């Protein structure tokens, strides 16, 4: 296999998004459109990945530099079409000793297999290859005009097409591959004699054919090359991504009680045998092991869930939550940056933040890890088999030894030794007859119209 490079076009202004956020930094499945394209190039084993940004790219340049290195971010000074954009990367790619592909940062769902097919055509013909698709509604897409032998004769932009050419439904995705040196040689010959006065990358095909070089088109599904130019299209691409993830999960052996209500991130990992109930949202970096059950209306991000664990309903797992084997995290329990040991239980109404919970510990309803003093965060450590009574506040930093018991309603500010009972609350006092005396006195005052001072 020849060496590969990718040029990712990310200079579009995205005005139709009507958003202060640049178009390519909007997300699908918790990953920016730009990051999707870089990941595709990486999956294709591209040795050099160059991102082309606009002159006022700002945040786009910053993210692109994080993804591919600042030296591989180039600026398209004059936004005069796709060929002009590719030409902006000439200094980084024209001398590349292999093949290249042009990708678009607003087209996130292209499978690597589709681009691999294009690279295979380039390897076989040493010409250029375009990825096309059969469009249900061709509309404004460029048309791929094929010859009698199925080779690609030319690409015609819809605005420049004749009525006969507009009737063609095989359309241009924009993705083009070819030997890097050849591509840049051809790009240098592209003119702007068209209705828009722009330099079209699509003209490379006609230029190649004019030199008796091969030009071909490989097909892919229309959904694979669905682009994002508006908020409605972003929502449509998100829906397509979610549908794929649901189908893939069920094919892999995951039980989804109501698939259409479960939302995934791009990197969600569910092992075969996991059960996910309705209305569950997976944020980024969630890994769920076989046999775990995620119950309804739970939200998870940055969490690891081990075999046999039960999470929810109505649970929230935040980054750093590591849920051990057979752990129960129940309704309205929030876990952040806490390791919960095997078989531990926190079944009701608790906040567990920054700490460690030993195996077999029981966390009573209303338990709070008081982990923040307004400036710094501190850890709470609970030993194996400890029992935390309901309505307990654990003021970190604090350590409760293995087997310790904490009396309900306590505010614990000091360490509790192993197997000790910790009680930190006011002593109960009963005053016999007080309640009846109070009621009788207040009833009499109310009947007499004698309001206490401050009463409304």
- Its pTM stands at 0.91
**108 vs 67: CA distance, rounded Å:** 15
Active-site residues, by number, are 348
**73 vs 65: CA distance, rounded Å:** 6
pLDDT value at residue 21: 94
What is the greatest pairwise CA distance in the chain?
109
pLDDT digits (tens, 9 = 90+) for 83-122: 999 999 999 999 999 999 999 999 999 999 999 999 999 9
Q: Do the Cβ atoms of 358 and 339 come closer than 8 Å?
A: no
Question: Domain map of the chain by residue range?
Answer: 4-225, 231-422
**174 vs 176: CA distance, rounded Å:** 6
CATH of the domain spanning 231-422, picked from 3.30.70.1710, 2.160.10.10, 1.20.1250.20, 3.50.50.60: 2.160.10.10
Least confident of 153-157, 204-208, 319-323, 435-439: 153-157
Please return the burial class of 268, using the count of CB atoms within 10 Å of its CB with bins 0-12, 13-18 and 19+: buried
pLDDT digits (tens, 9 = 90+) for 11-59: 988 899 999 999 999 999 999 999 999 999 999 999 999 999 999 889 9
Mean pLDDT throughout 53-76? Answer: 95
CATH number 3.90.550.10 is the correct assignment for the domain at 4-225: yes
Kindly provide the residue ranges of all beta strands, DSSP E only, lying in 247-327, ordered along the sequence. 255-256, 269-270, 275-276, 281-282, 287-288, 293-294, 299-300, 303-305, 310-311, 316-317, 321-323
Inter-axis angle of helices 59-68 and 33-43, nearest 10: 20
The separation between the first and the last C-alpha atoms of the chain, rounded to the nearest angstrom, is 85
pLDDT digits (tens, 9 = 90+) for 378-416: 999 999 999 999 999 999 999 999 999 999 999 999 999
How would you classify residue 156: left for phi > 0, otherwise alpha for psi between -120 and 50, otherwise beta?
A: beta
């Amino acid at each position: 296999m020849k060496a590969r490079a990718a040029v990712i076009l990310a200079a579009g202004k995205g005005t139709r998004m009507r958003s202060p956020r640049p178009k390519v930094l909007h997300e699908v499945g918790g990953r920016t459109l730009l990051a999707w394209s870089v990941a595709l190039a990486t999956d294709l084993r591209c040795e050099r990945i160059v991102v082309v940004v606009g002159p006022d790219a700002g945040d786009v340049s910053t993210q692109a530099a994080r993804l591919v290195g600042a030296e591989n971010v180039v600026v398209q000074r004059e936004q005069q079409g796709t060929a002009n954009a590719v030409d902006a990367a000439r200094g980084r790619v024209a001398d590349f000793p292999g093949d290249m592909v042009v990708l678009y940062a607003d087209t996130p769902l292209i499978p690597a297999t589709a681009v691999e097919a294009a690279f295979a055509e380039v390897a076989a013909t040493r010409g250029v290859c375009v990825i096309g698709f059969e469009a249900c509604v061709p509309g404004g897409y460029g048309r791929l005009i094929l010859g009698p032998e199925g080779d690609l004769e030319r690409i015609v932009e819809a605005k420049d097409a004749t009525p006969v050419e507009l009737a063609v439904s095989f359309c241009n995705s924009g993705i083009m591959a070819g030997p890097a040196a050849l591509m840049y040689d051809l790009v240098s010959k592209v003119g702007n004699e068209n209705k828009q006065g722009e330099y079209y990358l699509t003209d490379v095909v006609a230029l190649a054919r004019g030199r008796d070089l091969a030009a071909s088109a490989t097909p892919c599904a229309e959904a694979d090359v669905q682009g994002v130019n508006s908020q409605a299209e972003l929502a449509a691409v998100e829906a397509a991504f979610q549908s794929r993830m649901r189908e893939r999960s069920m094919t892999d052996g995951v039980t989804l009680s109501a698939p259409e209500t479960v939302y995934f991130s791009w990197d969600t990992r569910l092992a075969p045998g996991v059960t996910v109930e309705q209305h569950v949202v997976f944020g980024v970096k969630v890994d769920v092991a076989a046999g775990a059950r995620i119950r309804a209306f739970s939200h998870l991000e940055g969490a690891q869930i081990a075999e046999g664990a039960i999470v929810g309903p109505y649970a929230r797992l935040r980054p750093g939550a590591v849920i051990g084997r057979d752990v129960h995290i129940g309704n309205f329990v929030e876990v952040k940056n806490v390791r919960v040991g095997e078989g531990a239980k926190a079944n009701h109404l608790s906040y567990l933040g920054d700490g460690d919970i030993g195996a077999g510990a029981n966390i009573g309803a209303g338990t709070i890890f008081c982990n923040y003093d307004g400036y710094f965060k501190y850890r709470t450590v609970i030993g194996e088999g400890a029992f935390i009574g309901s309505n307990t506040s654990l003021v970190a930093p604090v350590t409760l030894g293995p087997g310790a018991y904490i009396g309900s309603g306590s505010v614990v500010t000091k360490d509790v030794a192993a197997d000790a009972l910790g009680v930190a609350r006011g002593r109960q006092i009963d005053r016999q007859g007080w309640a009846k005396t109070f009621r009788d006195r207040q009833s009499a005052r109310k009947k007499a119209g004698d309001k206490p001072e401050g009463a409304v």
